[in-house]
Structure 1
Amino acid sequence: MKKISFLFLLFVLQCNSTLLWAQTEPEEIKQDADQFEDSFYESLLQKGIENYDKAIVSLDKCLKLQPNNATVYFELGKNYLASKDYKNAYSSFERATQIDPTNEWFWVGMYDVSYETRNFSQAIVITNKLITFDSKYKEDLTSLYMATSQFDKALDLINELNETSGKTERRELYKIQILSEGKYQNTEISNLISQIEKDPKEESNYIALINLYSRNNEEEKAFETAKKLAEAIPTSEWAQVSLFKNYLENNEAQKAINAMNITLASAKIDSKIKHRMLNEFLIFTDKNPQYSPDLEKAIAYFDSDKEVNVAKEVGKFYHNKKQWDKAIKYYERALKNGDSEDIETNLLLLQAYTEVKQFELVGKKAMTMIESFPSQPQFYYYSGLANNQLRQFKKAKDILEMGLDYLVDDKTMEINFNIQLGEAYNGLGDDKKKELYFSKANQLLKEKKQ
């Protein structure tokens, strides 16, 4: 909150001699006037060298001569405030406003005391009075509403000032703070819709509305707003979001790619919007593989994304379609760009390697992961499976038996372990143990089906 500064008020001596000294001899009047002037300027001198107590004594002498002089009370207030005597400071400024309520700076003195003592409720009352002198005090009122958590009043005032005076960084930060509480978002949505109707060429209102919808996971409304923006301001970067969707629907691939690249490169556009756009282009590319190089370029925009590992999500997309080579490509990229020891990504990659029978890679990757995560049974399973396929049956048996110790309440994995142990003992020529483990696997399968 910006504290209102005092301006130095030049004192003009006002001697109401007709009323106050009507019965006083001229020489006495002159003496009193001289005494008043001397005492007043002595107070200014003492205040200038920070002798506030002496300044107050001199001003008290002035009050004895002119008890209704508002300027003397104002000066008293300043000296009391400087010496942190807030009670007397406030009462002095207040008395000055009672004598002359038309002087803005007397009210400013009351505000300053209220601010110093953090009496923001009192400051709000005074600021509303100050607004009658100058509307600039609405900025201070906004800060006071924020300090007293009167967010509804603050939001209304922020919107008013944005419309009449233009936006400021401080007010925008206040608005972000207010809108973090969901109950105020509907009010702001209504305000933004109204602002768009009033001025359809103001891009910032569309962007704010899109961001609000996106924050609330109302993606359809966000895209609908982007579409309106595209119609109103076709050159806007945000407009490309809507244009991209229209181009895809009309099978205008190159135009869609251009719009996508502009959007992905923009620092203004919310990451959720970008992720959704990439997902739509991924689906399009799956049906139109000739645009795969453009997909590669689009995915590269997300390589430094700390929130979502996009390459991993693309890998899952191809994984679900059983397009194993593509899934492997993106899982490897995900591990390179992100957390190389992410358990889920490594397990998905091991499954994809297994599907394309790259057992040497399965064995090598699984052993690396066992070193990092010795209590994860899945990695022992893949290592055992790979070694069985590579006909290294003794190694497979030893690794699988170690992994059994970490199995807890996972029947599917236990079945797989027993099958691979049966394969290992079969390769070693131990028919008795082979039958034992295959039998265990069959029994667990029956139990699982029940």
Structure 2
Amino acid sequence: MRNFLFLPFFLIFHFVSHSNILMIDSLRLAQSLNTGNQFQDNFFDGLNKKAIGNYNEAIKAFHSCLELIPENPTVLFLIGDLYLKDKSYELAEKNLNRSISLDPDNFWFKEKLYRMHVEKGDFNQAIKILKSLTYKSIDFKNELVDLYFKNGDFDLALDMIEILDTKYGYSQFRDRIKIDICKNASICKESFEKNGSRETSIKSNEASAEDFLKSGDLEKAIEFYQKAIEDSPISIKSVINLSDLYLKTEHYRIAFEFTKLQLDIFPTLIELYFINGTALYKLNKIAKSIEILEDGLDYIFEEDSIAFNYYHLLAKLYKETNNITKANSLIDKVNSLK
């Protein structure tokens, strides 16, 4: 028989370190109800079986605990967790919900239920629970943004990104989600704009710009991409195409200034680093061109279509500044991408 009052220090530390102080409370409750020894034996038997992966036997042991204390939220939580490990989602949800109903303010119980819904792909239910957990840390707020995105709630995701960026500053994680959303110009609009007329205007201006681009009238294409960006400043498609057109029409100073401004909004968009660096090179600002291109290396992937030209330009700049070692290293990368 185990006496809880003399539990080994390392075991108590294990509980506390995992924020499961309620386990200790459960054992104290068992002692106060004169079921202490029997409850403890079943309880620790369940923990031992769980530790070695014998989930069915662990569940049986914890059910024996419930026979002694039927409404013990911690035991119900542990049973729910075991069913979850076994992918028995219905039983897991039933027991986790029971534990939460008995201890509605318990963060860990709710988090486990939230993780279960994510695992199942039930994002609507996961979002409902996660909203009550975001007070805990910025990580949970970012997870809510991600869930909105995965659930197709793009306006909600953009709204929350704007709020979090304003409060906490830029996040590469959130920026990547924003870029993924904004690749579709019909979705990407300022989060507070919900009316269809603005969306129609964006589509119309972009369509006109593309028509002029196909016909070779680059200046007219620039004009309509500028209008599209006025309607939706976070239209990725328009931003990239307009930046590229400034280069093609040799408006290098404008290309540099425009992409510099856009990098404050989209600091992980690799196309902007490339166009900015190219514009600086054309303006004979070699050192600054190298600097901005090196900054962009953190955001480039070799499977990106732009990778070949990006590495080629930077290798050329290294060669012009007699940094042969770095130049050769990038030339090897260029050759590997051919």
TM-score normalised by L of structure 2: 0.54
> Which position in structure 2 is the counterpart of 1:63?
66
Match of 1:76 among 72, 75, 79: 79
Match of 2:93 among 86, 90, 95: 90
> Which position in structure 1 is the counterpart of 2:104?
101
Match of 1:169 among 166, 169, 172: 172
* 3-state DSSP of counterpart to 2:293: coil
Match of 1:9 among 13, 20, 28: 20
1-structure distance, mates of 2:101, 2:94 = 10
Q: Computing the radius of gyration over CA atoms, which structure comes out larger, 1 or 2?
A: 1
Give the alignment of 1:244-283 within 5 angstroms.
257-258=283-284, 262=288, 266-267=292-293
Counterpart of 2:172, as a letter, is: E
Q: CA deviation at 1:163?
A: 2.6
2-structure distance, mates of 1:209, 1:88 = 45
2-structure distance, mates of 1:262, 1:189 = 37
> Which position in structure 2 is the counterpart of 1:50?
53
| Cα deviation 1:403-448 (Å, max 9, x = unaligned) | xxxxxxxxxxxxxxxxxxxxxxxxxxxxxxxxxxxxxxxxxxxxxx
2-structure distance, mates of 1:172, 1:113 = 27
* 3-state DSSP of counterpart to 1:130: coil
| Cα deviation 1:328-349 (Å, max 9, x = unaligned) | xxxxxxxxxxxxxxxxxxxxxx
Q: CA deviation at 1:228?
A: 11
1-structure distance, mates of 2:179, 2:150 = 15
| Cα deviation 1:314-369 (Å, max 9, x = unaligned) | xxxxxxxxxxxxxxxxxxxxxxxxxxxxxxxxxxxxxxxxxxxxxxxxxxxxxxxx
Q: Decide whether aligned partners of structure 1 residues 184 and 263 sit closer, same or farther in structure 2, where only a CA change above 3 A counts.
A: farther
* 3-state DSSP of counterpart to 1:12: helix
**Contact conserved, 1:77 with 1:89, CA < 8 A, in 2?**
yes
TM-score normalised by L of structure 1: 0.42
Q: CA deviation at 1:155?
A: 1.5
Give the alignment of 1:343-382 within 5 angstroms.
none
> Which position in structure 1 is the counterpart of 2:242?
217
**Contact conserved, 2:189 with 2:234, CA < 8 A, in 1?**
no
> Which position in structure 2 is the counterpart of 1:140?
143
The aligned length equals 226
| Cα deviation 1:254-307 (Å, max 9, x = unaligned) | xx954598559853899xxxxxxxxxxxxxxxxxxxxxxxxxxxxxx99957xx
Structure 1: runs of 5+ lacking an equivalent: 1-5, 191-207, 246-255, 271-300, 306-450
**Contact conserved, 1:209 with 1:225, CA < 8 A, in 2?**
no
With 115-124 and 259-268 compared, the bigger mean Cα shift is at 259-268
Q: CA deviation at 1:41?
A: 0.9
2-structure distance, mates of 1:261, 1:7 = 51
2:158 equivalent to 1:155: yes
Q: Decide whether aligned partners of structure 1 residues 183 and 269 sit closer, same or farther in structure 2, where only a CA change above 3 A counts.
A: farther
Q: Decide whether aligned partners of structure 1 residues 96 and 227 sit closer, same or farther in structure 2, where only a CA change above 3 A counts.
A: closer
2-structure distance, mates of 1:226, 1:149 = 34
**Contact conserved, 2:77 with 2:95, CA < 8 A, in 1?**
yes
Q: CA deviation at 1:132?
A: 3.9
Match of 2:130 among 91, 115, 127: 127
Higher relative contact order (CA 8 A, sep 6+): 2
| Cα deviation 1:144-199 (Å, max 9, x = unaligned) | 11211211111222222223233333222211111111134441799xxxxxxxxx
> Which position in structure 1 is the counterpart of 2:257?
226
Q: CA deviation at 1:130?
A: 1.3
> Which position in structure 1 is the counterpart of 2:38?
35
1-structure distance, mates of 2:94, 2:173 = 33
2-structure distance, mates of 1:125, 1:186 = 25
Q: CA deviation at 1:110?
A: 0.4
2-structure distance, mates of 1:45, 1:303 = 55
Q: CA deviation at 1:214?
A: 3.4
| Cα deviation 1:363-412 (Å, max 9, x = unaligned) | xxxxxxxxxxxxxxxxxxxxxxxxxxxxxxxxxxxxxxxxxxxxxxxxxx
2-structure distance, mates of 1:215, 1:258 = 22
**Contact conserved, 2:26 with 2:74, CA < 8 A, in 1?**
no
Q: CA deviation at 1:39?
A: 0.8
Q: Decide whether aligned partners of structure 1 residues 126 and 303 sit closer, same or farther in structure 2, where only a CA change above 3 A counts.
A: closer
**Contact conserved, 1:179 with 1:185, CA < 8 A, in 2?**
yes
Counterpart of 2:20, as a letter, is: L
Q: Decide whether aligned partners of structure 1 residues 210 and 260 sit closer, same or farther in structure 2, where only a CA change above 3 A counts.
A: farther
2-structure distance, mates of 1:76, 1:131 = 25
> Which position in structure 2 is the counterpart of 1:375?
none
**Contact conserved, 2:45 with 2:61, CA < 8 A, in 1?**
yes
Q: Decide whether aligned partners of structure 1 residues 180 and 189 sit closer, same or farther in structure 2, where only a CA change above 3 A counts.
A: farther
Counterpart of 1:267, as a letter, is: L
Q: CA deviation at 1:227?
A: 7.3
2-structure distance, mates of 1:41, 1:303 = 59
Q: Decide whether aligned partners of structure 1 residues 85 and 98 sit closer, same or farther in structure 2, where only a CA change above 3 A counts.
A: same
Counterpart of 1:141, as a letter, is: L
**Contact conserved, 1:111 with 1:126, CA < 8 A, in 2?**
yes
